[in-house]
Structure 1
Amino acid sequence: MTLLTVGSRHRGLAGIVAAALLAGVSATAPAAAAAKVDTALQWYDVTAAAIATSTRPQVTNSRAWAISWLAATRAVRTAPVGTARHYQDAALASAVHTALSNLTPEAAPTLDAALQATLRRIPDGRAEERGIAAGQAQARSLLAQRTGDGLDPASVNPAYPTPEPRPGIWQPTPPSFGTAQQAGNRLATPFLLDRVDRYRPGPPPALTSKRYRTDLAEVRAYGAADSVVRTPQQTDTATFWLGSSLTLYTGILRAALAQSTHPVARRAGLVAIFHVALVDTQIATSDAKYAYLRWRPVTALRADTDPDWTPLHTTPAHPDYPSGHNTYSGAAEQVLTALVGPRARQPYTIDSPSQPGATRTYHDWRGPTLDNVDARVWSGIHTRTADEVGVELGRDVAEHAVRHAPRLLR
């Protein structure tokens, strides 16, 4: 089911998750909370910096976020009454530090320095010691549980045989004509999905359908490198949203976390559930892509009437349907809408790795989704149907994740 507004169902889902996140946690006084360093935001930035040092596949890095922040969420929920503030700060920092030291060992010096900075702010004593121990225990437990889940780089990108050429079926794309990537995602173990194909969309439009012809005509006109109809503003949108979805959405989730007034258990849980949903979404996306093996627009157009047609941006090496960028956008929007509400408390601004120096400001979580749908068409690398179906798939998987999140918080 797709959730577009914050109605009673959203409040119900958010309430279920909130109750699970806050179970057994004593509240911190508002005055004290305002006076202290925001440990959750500090460790969000530490996590982002650690992940930025990684050259691993996007889904592997999403897994690192999910494990470290799920461990942190579990740890802060164990705070004894009367010790919440110091215990929770130590537990959150210790959990993320322990998990990321294992998952991104190249970032160990930065992680160690950040942990020491956090612990210096916490008075020595039993609350600090117990918080550290809880964080370490939860991180080690989750790392053990997720061992062999198929989200390591080798499992994500196994050798995949190129299909025999025929109309509609994916083939390697120019300029490198590389073999298919991310085929292994579909074989990985999700966090919450019981079946990777639970939300698999129906097949893409038939090659003889009006919708397919309309899709292809739009990409031909607006997505060409030498397009005469794409505006400079449309080119900017395509370029801004070209980069890694994980990187682009790191700023969006940070805005939601920074603006949140909820207790630390709920704030840590927002980060955890966001990335759990995104790991499951990337697995479901791979399932759909490799179930249908739909060719990319560049292959279709060159086989049709434009043998020299070239897209504005280089086509990624995996099938068209559905768009992975847009399954990510749909899932991210869905989690934030369900747990935060449809709009940000304040406007937020993000930048882009693929358009250095450019920024975009949004007021809600849906605006980035709408831009992403257009961007992949204007880049010449996806049909609009692949984008729109991708958004729906992402929303469906994310709704499932939010609904079933309490299972991970026990």
Structure 2
Amino acid sequence: MAQGQTAPHATPRTAPAMRHGAARRAVVAGLSVLALGTTALLPARAATAVRPTADPAVVTDWNATAVDVINKDAERPSGEPFVWQGFVSAAVYNAVVGIEGRYAPYKWDERGPAGASSEAAAAAAAHRVLLEYFPGSKARVDAALRTSLGKVRDGRAEDEGVAFGRRAADHVIALRENDGRGADVPYDRRPAPGVWRPTPPDHAPFLNPWAARMRPMLMESPDRFRPGPPPALDSERYTRDFEEVKAYGAKHGSRRDARQTETARFFSDNLTVQFQWSLRDYAERHGLDIVDSARLFAAANTVGADVYVMATDSKLHYALWRPVTAVRLADTDGNPATVPDQDWQPMLDTPPYPEYMSGHNVLDGAVTAVLTGLTGGEIDLRMSSAVTGTTRHYETAAEFNREVTDARVWQGLHFRTSDVVGNRQGSLLGTWALSRYFLPLA
């Protein structure tokens, strides 16, 4: 491991062959999470079917296209891109496993023609979903489809694959009708000690409160993993959190050292873009075939979509104020141990939504739980940051989550409890999801 340093460009390790037998099972203990009912996500044994081996690059290529559409063209904010990536990845997964088999489809029971091209199906599914929700990017997604289909031999296999991929996409689109996206969900809490209100410098209103009521992709309801309440304002734990973020998260006069500041800057990049790059990097370095690549993205991104729902649900429900408000108004919190500083600023500008839980850490815990479950232990995760121009490597989820938890405090954006609780709840969600979805077929 080269934690906190630029990752060496060494030759990737070759993973052992995929096991196709019974599901690997593990026990959740604290923050160490192994997913139930999954097999290790490693390169598959050579296929015995007559069908030529499908090129897995179609999955990573369309993930990159989706990033361009969702993050660059549409500029969707915060964790919202995981919602759209979840839709795309679920459709691609159903298109691929509907033809190739091996894993249970996502909320679907159709099978594709035996000789259909799973590459063509994956491309057609991603194209259909992106065009449905982002018609302004038609030129981009049409060009990507031409490129993908140009790599598939013309004929019946391609035609049947395209048709099945479109059916897979239409099914996901139908599942998401009237799911609450964009609904009018008001935030009407009056300002009071401990209660969130818009924060400087922009004082923007609550961003996307509709996500708190959106129908999840995997969970039964948005509050399925809602945590207990945050610490009381007069508690020792709140006091410790307050003093830590005030001292280490300040923009000016902070007690951060150079390494801590570098870590804070590393994780100030767009997390949704960072994770999509990391997933593509993992799939390519480990030589995942088209089925396991599709499963990796579907599991991570549908869980990511539900993370956005569960984190927003908690934020709307508890409406805890952010550190920048807490420090400036500490003389109103009823806690004699907290001292106000009306000029205090966090290292980074505070996003426009409440404190508890940390959505960043919920996502980190959930996605790394998925990786832990699918790989059987070590996540072998590389992540790059455009802010620092460096790449870091993490062998285990614990290593990664520890750094992100620290970073969010050092950025001045969160109390530590919000990070720790968020990471724990995300891990629970990721593990729960893998025990119910994307399971190996008997």
Matches within 5 A, 1:170-185: 170-185=196-211
Moved more, 375-384 or 166-175: 166-175
- The question of 1:90 aligning with 2:120 is answered yes
Q: 1:290 to 1:80 in 2, by over 3 A?
A: closer
- The question of 1:207 aligning with 2:207 is answered no
Residue 317 of structure 2, aligned match among 291, 298, 303 = 291
Q: 1:327 to 1:110 in 2, by over 3 A?
A: same
Residue 385 of structure 2, aligned match among 351, 356, 367 = 351
Shift of residue 60, structure 1, vs aligned partner: 4.0
- Which position in structure 2 is the counterpart of 1:71? 91
Render the CA deviation track for 1:221-256: whole Å, top value 9, x for unaligned: 101111241112212211221233212211222222
- Which position in structure 1 is the counterpart of 2:19? none
The answer on whether the counterparts of 2:194 and 2:321 sit within 8 Å (CA) in structure 1 is yes
SS of the residue 2:346 aligns to:
coil
- Which position in structure 2 is the counterpart of 1:148? 178
Between the aligned partners of 1:85 and 1:241, the Cα distance in structure 2 is 45
- Which position in structure 1 is the counterpart of 2:105? none
Between the aligned partners of 2:370 and 2:270, the Cα distance in structure 1 is 19
- The question of 1:375 aligning with 2:407 is answered yes
SS of the residue 1:328 aligns to:
helix
Between the aligned partners of 2:219 and 2:379, the Cα distance in structure 1 is 28
Bigger relative contact order, structure 1 or 2 (CA pairs below 8 A, ≥6 apart): 2
Read off the aligned partner of 1:326 and give its amino acid letter.
N
Render the CA deviation track for 1:92-124: whole Å, top value 9, x for unaligned: 111111111112223222221221122122222
Alignment gaps of 5+ in structure 1: none
Read off the aligned partner of 2:277 and give its amino acid letter.
G
Shift of residue 349, structure 1, vs aligned partner: 4.5
- Which position in structure 1 is the counterpart of 2:187? 160
Question: Across the two proteins, how many residue pairs are aligned to each other?
Answer: 391
Q: 1:66 to 1:40 in 2, by over 3 A?
A: same
Residue 337 of structure 1, aligned match among 358, 368, 372 = 372
Read off the aligned partner of 1:54 and give its amino acid letter.
A
Moved more, 126-135 or 244-253: 244-253
Matches within 5 A, 1:221-236: 221-236=247-262
Shift of residue 159, structure 1, vs aligned partner: 4.5
Q: 1:127 to 1:3 in 2, by over 3 A?
A: farther
Between the aligned partners of 2:133 and 2:308, the Cα distance in structure 1 is 19
Residue 242 of structure 2, aligned match among 207, 216, 220 = 216
Read off the aligned partner of 2:92 and give its amino acid letter.
A
Read off the aligned partner of 2:61 and give its amino acid letter.
Q
Render the CA deviation track for 1:110-168: whole Å, top value 9, x for unaligned: 221221122122222221111110001110121122022122xx33x75423x223221
Read off the aligned partner of 1:48 and give its amino acid letter.
V
The answer on whether the counterparts of 1:28 and 1:263 sit within 8 Å (CA) in structure 2 is no
The answer on whether the counterparts of 1:192 and 1:401 sit within 8 Å (CA) in structure 2 is yes
- The question of 1:133 aligning with 2:167 is answered no
Q: 1:3 to 1:256 in 2, by over 3 A?
A: farther
Structure with the largest fraction of helix: 1
Residue 56 of structure 1, aligned match among 76, 80, 88 = 76
Identity score, percent: 34
- Which position in structure 1 is the counterpart of 2:37? 13
Residue 392 of structure 1, aligned match among 424, 427, 432 = 424
The root-mean-square deviation of aligned C-alpha atoms, in Å, is 3.0
Between the aligned partners of 2:397 and 2:82, the Cα distance in structure 1 is 19
Moved more, 77-86 or 291-300: 77-86
Q: 1:175 to 1:147 in 2, by over 3 A?
A: same
Q: 1:3 to 1:28 in 2, by over 3 A?
A: farther
Matches within 5 A, 1:305-316: 305-316=340-351
Read off the aligned partner of 2:227 and give its amino acid letter.
P
Q: 1:121 to 1:27 in 2, by over 3 A?
A: same
- Which position in structure 2 is the counterpart of 1:323? 358
Between the aligned partners of 1:224 and 1:58, the Cα distance in structure 2 is 22
Shift of residue 329, structure 1, vs aligned partner: 0.6
The answer on whether the counterparts of 1:170 and 1:294 sit within 8 Å (CA) in structure 2 is yes
Q: 1:315 to 1:134 in 2, by over 3 A?
A: same
- Which position in structure 1 is the counterpart of 2:149? 119
The answer on whether the counterparts of 2:89 and 2:126 sit within 8 Å (CA) in structure 1 is yes
The answer on whether the counterparts of 1:2 and 1:399 sit within 8 Å (CA) in structure 2 is no
Residue 257 of structure 1, aligned match among 274, 283, 291 = 283
Q: 1:256 to 1:373 in 2, by over 3 A?
A: same
Q: 1:13 to 1:120 in 2, by over 3 A?
A: same
TM-score, with normalisation over the residues of structure 1?
0.86
TM-score, with normalisation over the residues of structure 2?
0.80
The answer on whether the counterparts of 2:113 and 2:160 sit within 8 Å (CA) in structure 1 is no
Between the aligned partners of 1:4 and 1:209, the Cα distance in structure 2 is 24
Matches within 5 A, 1:263-302: 263-302=289-328
The answer on whether the counterparts of 1:94 and 1:115 sit within 8 Å (CA) in structure 2 is yes
Alignment gaps of 5+ in structure 2: 1-27, 102-111, 331-339
Shift of residue 308, structure 1, vs aligned partner: 1.4
Q: 1:173 to 1:307 in 2, by over 3 A?
A: same
